[in-house]
Amino acid sequence: MNQDCNVVPERSLTRSPGLMLTLALALLPSAFLAGTPDVSAQAPAQPTSGQQVVLVTGSTSGLGREVALRLGAMGWHVIVHGRSQERGIEVVDEINSQGPGNARFYRADLASFDQTREFGESLLRDYERMDVLVNNAGFGSAPNERLVSEDGHEFRF
């Protein structure tokens, strides 16, 4: 067995005070700024009592989508996030139809301060708690190309 690899018990992440602090720090700046992003047209799913809540950014495609689907299959309430309303609703429908978990979609482009602010405010309004944050949102581009958002921030680091 590789001794450089740390194995974390499946549920230990949900009991981590550091994780909750990370989530709070990630979302608090958004709480002080405005609006409401697009939410799934369906009646939004809410977590049941005792159900773990996870936000997976960038979960409408690729690795984020697979993480969201797997957590939904494990019984979690999954907050699906992405820029595509159509793909977001597809992921939510798949999680909700397969169970035992459930899901809700929020559309926001995290390259926009306004949409990020609205996203954070909506999450603070709609959820009493979150147990896990999976920061997956992003995209790839040519290695030497510098891409900047309309707010002047680089897309990749």
pLDDT in tens, 65-100: 999 999 999 999 999 999 999 999 999 999 999 989
Extents of the domains making up the chain? 25-134
* 8 A C-beta contact, residue 133 and residue 123: no
pLDDT band, very low/low/confident/very high, at 151 (cuts 50, 70, 90): confident
pTM across the whole model: 0.66
Match 């609006």 to its residue by tokens.
35
Of 34, 59, 52, 5, the closest CA to residue 124 belongs to 34
What is d(CA 103, CA 73) in angstroms, rounded to the nearest whole number?
A: 11
Higher pLDDT pick, 144 / 114: 114
For residue 137, what pLDDT is reported? 87
Give the 3-state secondary structure of residue 30.
helix
Q: What is the mean pLDDT of residues 110-139?
A: 92
CATH code matching the domain that covers 25-134, chosen among 3.40.50.620, 3.40.630.190, 3.40.190.10, 3.40.50.720: 3.40.50.720
